[in-house]
Structure 1
């Protein structure tokens, strides 16, 4: 008999995506332009300031995973981490006079707090249900709320910034949204219990051995990280694309909505597609749907804005599937490893996974900042500064060609079976 997950639990768990969606989207979307065009930090340096705090999580997230495995219930740690993220995110944009150094330090603290939310949150899914299709259903709920969170924060944050003439109010508003998601997921997952086996060997050698011994996990993680880098590079370029290439700052919200909005409509379709054709095949299809129209957007300088928006919307359909299927496949891999070893490792694997995810979303702005620097982008506090043609080209390439190539580069990793047998 299938282990049906109640709608109450699906909704409660999925509300944690208000936290993950906001924290993954807004810094990737606005922190780089905040540094280059409000604080006047050079593009390459700004890219490093966005990259390094999240790169720290690559080392720290597995530690958070081991702590999560040892704590029993994951909910208290999740609550503490989420509260820290909410407060620190509001502080991130609160003091422009602090300059780039202040932003770097606060972002490092915020990323650390986020590890204590994200790791137990991801690990909890493997403990809610072991049923193959119910995990796809649960992940579809989560991805729908994630799409909504990305839509609200990604479209609302720039609009709020522009309406209030600065970043401070925006930071407070996004911090409040993170706080709401933290409280709601904590309350909504009451009754979710930890598994009985604790990871007895929580040292670094055990972590390395666990990842080394799970070929399916390594391939799935590598594909996800490569694609996360591509997507985050695209998101980092939305603000620059609208201002520099399209010469219409108002296009930022429209571009973002066209990219994320379709996810709210097609998530149920992806769920049915996954049940019929399998998660791996669906993942490959979603990747192709993402990449093909993005190649068309590379001709943005000669295309009408309406065509660019339409192509972005098709790309968004692929993006939604690229979010659902790797995350739905992860607990299958975790369960197979726990059954093979008889050891509780959901937190350990989730820590490594979230470290990779964090790295991917950190690399995007770093890559984009490097592309801007190579193109000669002029950082300034003067909004009227004229960019050289090479910088315009760099903005366009970073928004289209680079994300497309990165996403497609993950396809060879998906040519072999990654899923466990249905249970």
Structure 2
């Protein structure tokens, strides 16, 4: 069972991280822009929008671990991660075009939901392949942080690009939200094949034998019995819920509560561009203090900056812009650090079981993240119940705006705090991971010696009479 032990060059790191730009760029409009687009442009009722995007997230609960397990069992000359990236890319491109550009106003909610579900399936296949590969590219504690840090930087670039495009289309060219969605769709559509080609051409996929198949029961049992995995999944779920709520309501809050009808996209772009600046900060803190401590600091900082939104004055862009710059520094830090922590958990699982199941564990990590983000569409149903009207220019009641404010600010603050508390006394630090890595390397060396050892049974020597 060979594993990558050599250094990865800067050029290889850039090429490897490249697919994260369109993949994470796609996740942003799916959370922030598509639900309002489905309600405003396609004319779907809020309950249907909530059902479609919540249902798609729940669908992920079943498919992500299954996809991860299937990829772990794949054997191909190109590498088990590469072949899934190559196969998934054109499928995702076709479905992306359909969801962002091909759905007409007045479409039946069932057809719209089917298109979204299919797009999520293709997206999950590419994401799990890329993350599983990231966890195996460099097996050391800080090596994984470096690889996943590059992935997060590429993600932040992709997300910032989407928001810049949205701001330019809406604010610069006075386009509609539908124009912004279609433009983002075309950009992501073009970037997927280019970045995938870079990764599969210039980066090696470490050859690992296919792992044993785990059924649904065995998968649940494996995860339930892995306390370290649960320690990572808990804050990831809480963080996902917080980001799903705040991301899904960002435009509504800044447009309807603070009165930034045309500047909301620009503020959102500032928020995500700040995430690009924040990645090196959290990477440095992870090296200096450990990944779980860096994650706790990021979560506490996120609580404080989210609370600061309460004191922002309405219609004052130059007060809101620096506040979003500060708040955005933590965007992506949580994702980077939970993924880096999970890569170490895979080591612990391998030492106990002898199987390297990166796809399974990252598939489950994506499941909890997506399940958390599903809280965004749930908030739409809550707002619909209190009579909130999402169309720009509409008058909303004080009760509706108060509900929006509580959901957007108070709920994430509580969740960030709980996530930080859940990481107290987390045991798998740099020293513990180095011991795991050494034990795994010793096992691999012992297995290699057994395979190379000549037969202990010597051939009989000729006798003379």
Question: Structure 2 CA distance, aligned partners of 1:161 and 1:83?
Answer: 29
Offset of residue 179 of structure 1: 4.5
Offset of residue 279 of structure 1: 0.5
Aligned length: 420
Change beyond 3 A, Cα 1:228–1:148: same
Write the mapping of 1:65-84 to structure 2, written as runs, cut at 5 A.
Answer: 65-72=68-75, 73-84=80-91
Change beyond 3 A, Cα 1:158–1:8: same
Question: Structure 2 CA distance, aligned partners of 1:349 and 1:192?
Answer: 21
Paired residue for 2:95?
Answer: 88
Offset of residue 157 of structure 1: 3.4
Match of 2:389 among 354, 378, 397: 378
Contact 2:149 2:336 in 1 (8 A): yes
Question: Structure 1 CA distance, aligned partners of 2:326 and 2:177?
Answer: 32
Contact 2:91 2:122 in 1 (8 A): yes
Q: Deviations over 1:139-174 (max 9, x none)?
A: 111111111111111342364367444626733642
**Further displaced range: 80-89 or 103-112:** 80-89
Note if 1:126 corresponds to 2:135. Answer: yes
Which protein, 1 or 2, shows the higher relative CO under an 8 Å CA cutoff with sep ≥ 6?
1
User: What is the SS of the residue equivalent to 2:271?
Assistant: helix
Change beyond 3 A, Cα 1:157–1:103: farther
Question: Structure 1 CA distance, aligned partners of 2:156 and 2:188?
Answer: 14
User: What runs of 5+ residues in structure 1 fail to find an aligned partner?
Assistant: none
User: What is the SS of the residue equivalent to 2:329?
Assistant: helix
Paired residue for 1:46?
Answer: 49
Change beyond 3 A, Cα 1:176–1:308: closer
User: What is the SS of the residue equivalent to 1:188?
Assistant: helix
User: What is the SS of the residue equivalent to 1:368?
Assistant: helix
Contact 2:253 2:405 in 1 (8 A): yes
Contact 1:241 1:396 in 2 (8 A): yes
Offset of residue 49 of structure 1: 1.6
Q: Give runs of ≥4 in structure 1 deviating > 6 Å.
A: none
**Further displaced range: 398-407 or 95-104:** 95-104
Contact 1:157 1:170 in 2 (8 A): yes
Q: Deviations over 1:69-117 (max 9, x none)?
A: 1222211212222322222122113222315333212101101111211
Match of 1:104 among 78, 99, 113: 113
Question: Structure 1 CA distance, aligned partners of 2:74 and 2:126?
Answer: 13
Contact 1:287 1:319 in 2 (8 A): no
Paired residue for 1:387?
Answer: 396
Match of 1:10 among 10, 13, 26: 13
Change beyond 3 A, Cα 1:108–1:403: same
Offset of residue 19 of structure 1: 2.9
Question: Structure 1 CA distance, aligned partners of 2:6 and 2:140?
Answer: 6
Note if 1:352 corresponds to 2:352. Answer: no
Whose Rg is larger? 2
User: What runs of 5+ residues in structure 2 fail to find an aligned partner?
Assistant: 435-465
Root-mean-square deviation (Å): 2.4
Write the mapping of 1:16-415 to structure 2, written as runs, cut at 5 A.
Answer: 16-72=19-75, 73-93=80-100, 94=102, 95-157=104-166, 159-160=168-169, 163=173, 164-165=175-176, 167=178, 170-171=181-182, 173-190=184-201, 191-300=203-312, 304-361=316-373, 363-378=374-389, 383-415=392-424
Contact 2:18 2:198 in 1 (8 A): no
**Further displaced range: 97-106 or 108-117:** 97-106
**Further displaced range: 364-373 or 338-347:** 364-373
Offset of residue 196 of structure 1: 2.8
**Further displaced range: 165-174 or 230-239:** 165-174
**Further displaced range: 95-104 or 291-300:** 95-104
Change beyond 3 A, Cα 1:46–1:92: same
**TM-score of the aligned structures, taking structure 1 as reference length:** 0.91
Change beyond 3 A, Cα 1:113–1:242: same
